[in-house]
Amino acid sequence: MTQAYMTQTRQGGSDARSGSRTRLRFRSPHGGGPWRRGIILVLAAVLLTLTLVLHADIPNSVGNLGSLVETFLPWLGLAVPLLLVLGLLRRSAAALVALLLPTAAWLNLFGGQLDSKSGTGGDLTVATHNVNAENPDPAGTARDVAAGGTDVVALEELTEKATPVYRKALAGTYRYHTVQGTVGVWSKYPLSATRPVDIRLGWTRALRTTVSTPQGPVAVIAAHLPSVRVEVKAGFTAGQRDGSADALGRAIADEKLERVVLLGDLNGTMNDRALAGVTSQMRSAQGAAGDGFGFTWPAAFPMARIDQIMARGVEPVRSWTLPETGSDHLPIAAAVDL
């Protein structure tokens, strides 16, 4: 019995010593190899890619989520450097390789806006500016807009009190003008056939006029679509804006003149599928001849381009953003060949 016990003890000791040599392992503080670590980061990169590629398929049935994502779609690109830093900290080769997917998707959507497409010349220069109903300095804003030197200017969010101020301040630069409701057009060339445009609001926030340029008539439509809100319970409240966009699209389709320029605050970006009634008929001056993204709102830190200059039957050659005024929007301008 003693011999058996001693044998087992020696064997146990031998096994223990063997175990100390063969079973002792040091686990990496990062867990797994470089291709097995960072699975959450890989999934995040795939989700980001799907959002960029399939943004048009995100449903609007719940809080207009699709339109909300499309409004700020370019900013999703900021997630790529964030995931890159996390992937480096995690030492995950898989995560770093997966980042090629959203990078390629973002460049496919917005890479063209990284290069300047702005040209020179142009037969007609136009500008648009939401001057803000609560603007503390309408006279100063009018002078800033006039300093841009464009041939035609559309102003939105005019108030009964401020409109005479804009008329007086712009009279020296623009001989012709018309104001319909809360929108107005000032021009160096004669205006005719002016009328309100019904965008289903119950009051006038859009107009149509003919500008008699030296190269022939151009229909100018100035519009201010309803505002949108992001609310916790309701989500992206854009129903009224969407209905007005459809009505504006029908007015553009009914326009008899071949050359049409749309100026205004559409409260939506070119990526927003809710504006398809308008964007499917016209070219964005910024997209065709812009320099960068040209964000216009809010003026203090622009995050989205909700002010638009669009054209049909004319060729945009330049598009640019004007300096900040007393408004919460930035004014924008463009030159077009007729």
Give pLDDT tens digits for 195-254: 999 999 999 999 999 999 999 999 999 999 999 877 665 567 788 999 999 999 999 999
What whole-number distance in Å separates Cα of residue 116 and Cα of residue 283? 17
pLDDT given for residue 60 in this prediction = 87
pLDDT given for residue 315 in this prediction = 97
pLDDT given for residue 99 in this prediction = 97
Structure tokens at 172: 């020296």
What whole-number distance in Å separates Cα of residue 217 and Cα of residue 214? 8
- The pairing of beta strand 124-130 with beta strand 152-156: parallel
Average pLDDT across the chain, whole number? 90
Given a cut of 50, the residues of the chain with pLDDT beneath it are 1-20, 22, 24-30
For residue 197, with 0-12 CB atoms within 10 Å meaning exposed, 13-18 middle and 19 or more buried, which class applies? buried
- Model pTM? 0.86
Which CATH number among 3.40.309.10, 3.60.10.10, 3.20.20.70, 1.10.357.10 corresponds to the domain 124-337? 3.60.10.10
What whole-number distance in Å separates Cα of residue 282 and Cα of residue 126? 16
pLDDT given for residue 233 in this prediction = 58
Whether 306 contacts 268, CB under 8 Å: yes
What whole-number distance in Å separates Cα of residue 80 and Cα of residue 74? 12
Please name the amino acid found at residue 91: R
Buried b (16+ CB within 10 A) or exposed e, 291-301: bebbbbbebee
